[in-house]
Amino acid sequence: MEPSKYDRIAYFLAERGEPAYRTRQVYDAVFRGGHGEFADMHPLPQGMRADLATEFGPGILSLKPVTASISQQVNKTLFETADGERVEAVLMRFEAGWTSLCVSTQVGCGLGCTFCATGAVGLRRNLTADEISDQVLAFQLGGETIDSVSFMGMGEALANRASFGAFELLTRDDLFNLGARRLSVSTVGIIPGMKRLTAEFPQINLTFSLHSPFPEQRQELIPVSRRYPLADCLEVLDNHVDVTGRKVYLAYLVMAGVNDSEEHVTGLVDLVKERAHWETRFHVNLVRFNPLGIESPIAYESADESVMRRILARLDGAGVHATIRRSFGVDIDAACGQLYAKYQAHAGRAMRPVSSGR
Ligand code: SF4
């Protein structure tokens, strides 16, 4: 993986024979002083500021905000990368005063989940660790305090190795200094990435997108689960719980007439109760499918509120911890893809034809 710009700045200054405190001054100017432009980093000598700007460009950010849609609770910002790609991040402000930022990890996604518009676009490219963490930095430089970061925007975070570079940058105490417990990752079940998360970042919150308790149906909804079968994913989750002692979240996107039957809820309860630590370590997040009026590969429909409440009551009755997630009209936990769907609508680009059989 290519070194982050923070490491490149350290190498650049070290090569010039500068003492290590100069690098710390740059980091402090960005993260404690809120300066995004090298010219404003006044503790540094003028010549050094100019040299940094020549080498790295005038500012520290590799992304440029292009549009923002802001309400009292939500700030959705579309960023442009240096090569003209676009990704979106969403800041949510909770009533208790907590702010959470949902970041993207890929431009598009290659996994083709049938409920997801991003999947229909295909993978345009992975974001770098700098581009992922810059979504956080851009909001911070804009004066926002970010309390937590979820890797649930565009793309499958664990299909991009650079996500691990971003975890490292965000948790480094000389940079973003966010505790790992303030980070959350959602995955459809990329087993090598899940195992790496357990080993390297055991404190990061993990959400597994389940969406069906039945392996065959899940393979229809999430084609990559043919490669990483449900039973294997559950084994990895059980191990994650054993090793980390942390709770795992199971996201269940409720789609009318698809996965909201009594049989499905019974299957979901059984699946959870088969886990060794199900009472304390598994939590189901029910998410209402949000079609957003944009063509997803298959035209699913939202479940009624009464159906959501019925499923919640059944889980409660069985002793399974569960919550209906509400995200200010943006079903962030639902998926990834829906942010990019918005981008497609704005940009007016044609979507790639969807292959059949999914
Ligand atoms: Fe990719 Fe996530 Fe969409 Fe599936 S739901 S296609 S993993 S972005």
Q: What is the dihedral of CA 358, 266, 208, 152, to 10 degrees?
A: 70
Candidates 256, 250, 251, 249; CA nearest to 308 is: 256
**What was the pLDDT predicted at 329?**
44
Residue 67 sits at φ, ψ, to 5 deg, of -140, 155
Helices 5-15 & 20-31 angle (0-180, nearest 10): 150
The predicted model gives 331-358 an average pLDDT of 37
Tell me: the pLDDT tens digits for 16-27?
Answer: 999 999 999 999
Question: What is the distance in A from the centroid of ligand 1 to the CA of 157?
Answer: 9
Atom of ligand 1 nearest to the CA of 112: 6
Report yes or no: 261 and 217 within 8 Å, Cβ to Cβ.
Answer: no
How far away, in angstroms, is 260 Cα from ligand 1 center? 20
Instruction: Name which residue leads in pLDDT, 229 or 74.
Output: 229
- For 195-225, the pLDDT digits (tens) are 999 999 999 999 999 999 999 999 999 999 9
Q: Ligand 1: which residue has its CA nearest to atom 6?
A: 119
Question: Does the CA dihedral 115-117-120-122 come out positive or negative?
Answer: negative
The packing angle between helices 46-56 and 5-15, to 10°, is 130
| pLDDT computed for residue 115 by the predictor | 86
What's the whole-model pTM score? 0.91
Distance CA 315, CA 132 (A): 36
Catalytic residue among 88, 131, 156, 233: 88
Residue 271 in contact with residue 230, Cβ under 8 Å?
Answer: no
Q: Tokens representing 213?
A: 């308790």
Residue 181 DSSP class:
G
Residue 107 has pLDDT above 90, yes or no: yes
Q: Structure tokens of 217?
A: 């149906």
Q: How confident is the model at residue 339 (pLDDT cuts 50, 70, 90)?
A: low
Where is 184: in which H helix or E strand?
strand 183-187
What are the pLDDT digits (tens) for 286-319?
Answer: 988 877 645 566 788 889 999 999 999 999 999 9
| pLDDT at residue 58, as a whole number | 97
In the predicted structure, residue 356 carries a pLDDT above the cut 80: no
Q: If you average pLDDT over residues 133-137, what whole number do you get?
A: 98
Name the residue with tokens 């149906």.
Answer: 217
CA 99 to ligand 1 centroid distance, Å? 24
CA–centroid distance, residue 41 to ligand 1 (Å): 40
Taking only the tens place, the pLDDT of each residue in 147-187 is 999 998 889 999 999 999 999 999 999 999 999 999 999 99
The pLDDT of residue 302 is: 86
Q: Report the separation in Å between the CA atom of 314 and the middle of ligand 1, taken as the mean of its atom positions.
A: 28
Nearest atom (ligand 1) to Cα of 116 = 3
Catalytic residue check, 37: no
* Spatial distance between the Cα atoms of 51 and 257, rounded to a whole number of angstroms: 61
Model confidence pLDDT, tens digit, residues 221-275: 999 999 999 999 999 999 999 999 999 999 999 999 999 999 999 999 999 999 9
The pair of structure tokens assigned to 156 is: 């499958």
Which residue from 102, 104, 156, 294 has its CB within 8 A of the most atoms of ligand 1, so it is best to mutate? 156
Question: In the structure encoding, which two tokens stand for residue 114, read together?
Answer: 């049938």
Q: How are beta strands 122-126 and 148-151 bridged, if at all? A: unpaired
Please tell me the residue having the least CA distance from ligand 1 atom 7.
Answer: 156
Cα separation, 60 vs 53, whole angstroms: 9
Q: Are 22 and 48 in contact (CB under 8 A)?
A: yes
Q: Compute the distance from residue 10 Cα to the ligand 1 centre, in Å.
A: 36
Contact 175, 217 (CB under 8 A): no
Pocket test for ligand 1, best of 109, 163, 338 (most atoms within 8 A of CB): 109
Residues with CB under 6 A from ligand 1: 109, 111-113, 116, 118-119, 155-156, 188, 335-337
Whole-angstrom Cα distance, residue 315 to residue 252?
A: 12
Inter-residue contact 108 to 154 (CB < 8 Å) = yes
**Is 102 one of the catalytic residues?**
no
Q: Among the atoms of ligand 1, which is closest to the Cα of residue 209?
A: 5
Write down the pLDDT at residue 328: 45
